[in-house]
Every structure is written in C-alpha cells, then in structure tokens.
Amino acid sequence: MLALRDPIHVYVRADDLESAVLRTRPVQRLRWVRQLGLAHLVFPGAEHSRFSHALGAMELAGRVYDALAEKAPDLLDGDPRCPERRRVRLAALLHDVGHAPFSHSAEELFEDGLTHEDMTVRLLQSPEVAGALEPAGAEGVAVDDVARILTGRGAETERLLAQIVSGELDVDKMDYLLRDSLYCGVRYGNYDLGRLLETITPLRDPTTREWGIGIDEGGVHALEALVLARYYMFTQVYFNVTGKVLELHLNEWLASEGIRWPSDPELFLSHDDLDVWSAMRRSPSAHARAIVERDHYVLALETREHLTTAERDGFTAVVDEARARFDAGDLLVSNSAKDPHRLSETRVLVRDRDGRLEPMEHVSHFIRHLTRIERFRVYARPERAEAVRAFLRLRWAPLVEPSAVT
C-alpha cells in the first residue's frame, strides 16, 4: 500500500495493482503535461501537472463509490476490495492519460480526428498498462473491465459507475475544481465536497430506466455550488484574457511547425509539454517568441460573457471586416465558449423528503438561468493594436445592446 501526500486530499492511497499502473509510462508521462497548459504564465502558482490530478481523481472515485454503495447496498457491493470499486478507481487514475501536451490548449491536433478520450482507451490497451493489470486479470479488473468504465459502454451497473468518472457529477470535475483553484490561488473552485458526498445517491430515471448519480434534496445547494464553481473557473481562469492569447500563439506556432499528436499510442507517449517547450524555446518563430518572451498580442476587442444571436453574428462580421482591413497576421481571434452544465441533456435527479424525483434544472431556479458562456476576443499585434482597437470599437459599438448608465 502506497500513501502519497496530496495538497487537496491529504493522502492518496494506492494498492499494489494501482501502484503498478502508476509506474507505467502513460501515467508517468502526465507529470509532463501541465493541468492548465500555459496558465502558469498568468497564475504563477498553477504549475501543477495532470499527474496529481489523476491521483486525486482515483482517491475521490473510491469515496464516491463508497457514498453510493452506502445508499444502495443492494445495487453496489460495499466491500472496499470488490471488483467494481477497483475498476472505478483504476478508470479514474487512467482517465486522462490520452491528454495531449498542454492539455486542452491544443487538443485538436490529434491525427485521424482522434479525441483525447480515444487515446486514453488506446493507452489503456497498450502492452505496458495491460501488462501491469495482467496479474489481477482474474479478479475482475482486467483491461476490458476498466475500459467499460471509461467508455460507458457496459452493463447497467457499469454505466452507473462510468458516471463516477465522466458525467455531470464526476470525480474529474470534483478534483480539478479544488486543485486548480488551490494552485491558481483563487477561491472560485471551492464547493462543499463533504456535503456532496453526503447527499449523492444512485437514482433510477423513471423515464429512461437508467441508473444515474442523483442527489438528495439536502444536497441541491452543494450541487449548485459545484456548477457555479466550474462556471467561475471558466470565466475567471480557463478563459482568462491573457491565457487565451497565449493559447492562440501556441496553436499558431504548432500549426506553422506542422506538429500533430500521433494516433499511434507508442509514438504519442513521447509528446509532452517538455519536448514542445524545448522546441518552442529554440524556435525563431514570432509566435513562439510571443509565448517564451511574453511578447504577445494585446486585446483589441472583447465581448461580454454572454452573447445574443445578433451579437454573435455581428462579431463574425466585424472580424471579417477587420481581417480585410488589416493584415491577417496582425489579428488573433478567440471564440471561447462553454456550457456551464449539461443538465438538460444528462439529467441529474433530485429526490425530495418524500422520495419524489425531480430533475435538477427544475429544482434549482437559477441553474436554469446560467446561460452559455461566450467570450469572444480579438487580439492584435502590439504595434497595430491602437488602430485595430479603434476600428473594431467603431464597428462593434452599434451592435451591442446599450445598457450603460445614462
């Protein structure tokens, strides 16, 4: 039994099988993929890698499993050594191994249209991870057992367990919100983990007959707080004005170098932040220098956090005009967008004192009103910034709903 210190969960424990998986290259590679890509250039504390997040997700997976099993002993085995619990923990440990360098900053460069989730499954099936899991194959934690948790394509109970790793109430979010906000030095990501674990419960949707992770009425506000924590982390940290322009430069540079993330898992393993940074530091490209020397483009136009359809269309038109008016290379455009939750698709059920079920977005009156974040921005080459800014403002002003105090 390995006990690793952790700033969020105090200790993360790993049994022998988990320790063996921990030692494989796919997991160790995560030490070289920063959780927040380039964000540490803006939030100096945010130097953490996906490695400790993977540990934290595993730790939480066990706790969430236990919380659910306590509520539904007929559905889930309460034994801490049962195969279901071990699978979920392993799936959580491995859930991010497919992440490209710089995490989400440049995740669209996979060959063959792969997603990082696809790569995760490929790496789980790679000889090294499969080999580490081999000895326990007969104990119900073989590669395929874990894969079904990761893909969500398993039997009824497995589909419930899959939600522990990926769903509206998953350990991925639960961990990264706490971890990112600690390392960034902000408080946005805090929510009441204790209360959440106290109130989650497996609930069967009467319509679809599917089991899902639901919540008892007393936990509604804890879940709201989780949703808000994520909302704030997006608006304040992940979509940070400077962080975003650095990402744009990164993508420009990667494109100009023709860099792609291999679809072959073995080749993929040798790509991480470290080798990209090495290349970037040596590169004479202006986009590389923009990052390395912090000599990046500056903000010329920024929308509010939520856009009307008219504004969205108007922005595109204005940007097109600007591109025609200025050198294309003088501008960088970022269309950051994120739904604060997917409760309308994946419904999370709330159970009231009398056992009645109701979807979360009905119960929570303001979750309903948390609309899609859309923060569009145009950045300009510093020397051209003033001209670009003047041009854009002139075009943009008439398109925005007037609301300033008069």
240 closest CA partner among 36, 50, 390: 36
Question: Judged by CB under 8 A, how many residues of this single chain contact its own copies?
Answer: 72
CB closer to its own copies out of 3 and 144: 3
Distance (Å, whole) CA 376 – CA 364: 28
* Nearest distance, CB of residue 193 and its own copies, angstroms: 9
Tokens of 79: 């034994």
Binding segment (CB under 8 A) for its own copies, from list 6-14, 95-103, 313-321, 325-333: 6-14
Interaction of residue 366 with its own copies, rule CB under 8 A: yes
CB closer to its own copies out of 145 and 199: 199
Q: Of these, 235, 251, 334, 336, which contacts its own copies (CB under 8 A)?
A: 235
285 conformational bin, left if phi > 0, alpha if psi -120 to 50, beta if neither: beta
Tokens of 402: 């007037």
Instruction: Give the x/- contact pattern for its own copies in 204-223, rule: CB under 8 A.
Output: -xxx-------------x--
Which residues in the 367-396 window bind its own copies by CB under 8 A?
368-371
* Nearest distance, CB of residue 406 and its own copies, angstroms: 7
* Nearest distance, CB of residue 283 and its own copies, angstroms: 14
CB closer to its own copies out of 34 and 381: 34
Alpha-carbon distances, residue 34 vs 47, 206, 232 (angstroms): 7, 41, 20
Interaction of residue 2 with its own copies, rule CB under 8 A: no
Which residues in the 319-348 window bind its own copies by CB under 8 A?
none
195 closest CA partner among 167, 223, 170: 223
CB closer to its own copies out of 121 and 300: 300
Q: Of these, 31, 71, 260, 338, which contacts its own copies (CB under 8 A)?
A: 31
Which residues in the 171-190 window bind its own copies by CB under 8 A?
182-188, 190
Binding segment (CB under 8 A) for its own copies, from list 48-56, 84-92, 109-117, 326-334: 48-56
CB closer to its own copies out of 52 and 163: 52
Q: Of these, 216, 305, 337, 387, which contacts its own copies (CB under 8 A)?
A: 305
CB closer to its own copies out of 33 and 121: 33
Distance (Å, whole) CA 248 – CA 254: 10
Interaction of residue 68 with its own copies, rule CB under 8 A: no
Partnered with residue 261 across adjacent β-strands are 110
Q: Of these, 256, 278, 308, 316, which contacts its own copies (CB under 8 A)?
A: 278
Distance (Å, whole) CA 225 – CA 16: 36
Which is it for strands 211-216 and 349-351: parallel, antiparallel or unpaired?
A: parallel
* Nearest distance, CB of residue 363 and its own copies, angstroms: 8
Which residues in the 81-140 window bind its own copies by CB under 8 A?
none
Q: Of these, 117, 134, 198, 339, which contacts its own copies (CB under 8 A)?
A: 198
* Nearest distance, CB of residue 144 and its own copies, angstroms: 28
Question: Is there a contact between 33 and 102 (Cβ–Cβ < 8 Å)?
Answer: yes
Interaction of residue 308 with its own copies, rule CB under 8 A: no
Q: Of these, 238, 277, 297, 376, which contacts its own copies (CB under 8 A)?
A: 277
CB closer to its own copies out of 92 and 370: 370
CB closer to its own copies out of 44 and 382: 44
Binding segment (CB under 8 A) for its own copies, from list 35-43, 132-140, 164-172, 308-316: 35-43
CB closer to its own copies out of 201 and 235: 235
Distance (Å, whole) CA 121 – CA 117: 7
Measured distance between the N- and C-terminal CA atoms of the chain, rounded to whole angstroms: 66
